[in-house]
Amino acid sequence: MQINAFTCENLILILISAILLDILFAEPPEIVHPVVWFGNIIKFLNLKLRHENKLDLITGFISTIVVILFAITIALPTTLLIYPLNLLWAIYLLYTSISIKSMVLHAKKTFQYGKIDASNVQMIVSRDTKSLNEEQLISAVIESVAENFVDGVLAPLFYFSIFGILGAVVYKAINVCDAMIGYKNTKYFYFGKFAARLDDLMNFIPSRLSVLLFSILSFRAFRYALKYKTKLNGHAISAMAGLLNVKLEKPGKYKIDGKIPTIKDIERSIKYYWMLCFLSTILSLLIILSKC
């Protein structure tokens, strides 16, 4: 649909402009950030519709669909507005659908003054950091960098290159729903099930594509992804462990063997993150060019 609304040159311009905006300014203010809008909607519906019983299978489905429909609505102006207003809106939507520089800034903030800071780590992970030791905190940061590469960069760029702005924005809406309600606990087991399953489906191809990009940097990343594919549903995490040759662990969930990670390994993961973002951009460009 959207891929035909712009010329090949415009699609490339949208892609490059969005990435440059992200690198220069990171995230826009929350009040004008579509991802924040998605989060506010699902938060409101969570408070109003969640019952913590099987009825939540229906209310959770409805809530996720509402957010997706809102995402489609805000993408419509890219086909309804006149040129170049539709182009500018498309650039802005893709810019807010990716998250490159903000991840780097958050990751760097976790090890200020040469020491890992549990409170800052808590800002980027869902697990309780109070019970984690230094090694596990460092692991959590590296895992977050790896996961964000898929959720915040590769996947939205992949869906943009296939379906245009609509693909990127809808993907981001689903990803936000999963991040907020896709938990396997009593509170969200039923309410977040549809969002979690839909997010898994949307990430099926991007997560596996990520292994290909990791493997360009080191074949060991591919070997780790293959070795640990049955132990955790996180191809990028195991690939990052292989790339860095470090031990990554989520207590009670999984453990990837390797040397004990240090703050230097967080810095290395950020360096590789930039490289992977560049490779994702090239991949997106190639897909767009193949369709033009």
Mean pLDDT of the chain, nearest integer = 93
Reported as half-sphere exposure (CB side, CA atoms, 13 A), residue 4 has a value of: 1
**CA distance readout (Å), 66 to 37, 70, 167:** 12, 6, 16
Residue from 213, 235, 210, 212 nearest 225 by CA? 235
What is the model's pLDDT at position 126? 83
- Helices 85-97 and 34-49: crossing angle in degrees, nearest 10, is 60
- What is the tens place of the pLDDT at every residue in 231-263? 566 689 999 999 999 999 888 888 898 999 999
Q: Helix, strand or coil for residue 197?
A: helix
Which is more confidently placed, 56 or 229?
56
What is the model's pLDDT at position 2? 43
Which is more confidently placed, 15 or 50?
15
Give residue 232's domain range: 2-291
Number of domains in the chain: 1
Under 8 Å between Cβ of 66 and 174: no
Whether the pLDDT of residue 46 is over 80: the answer is yes
Which is more confidently placed, 131 or 1?
131
Q: What pTM value is reported for the model?
A: 0.94
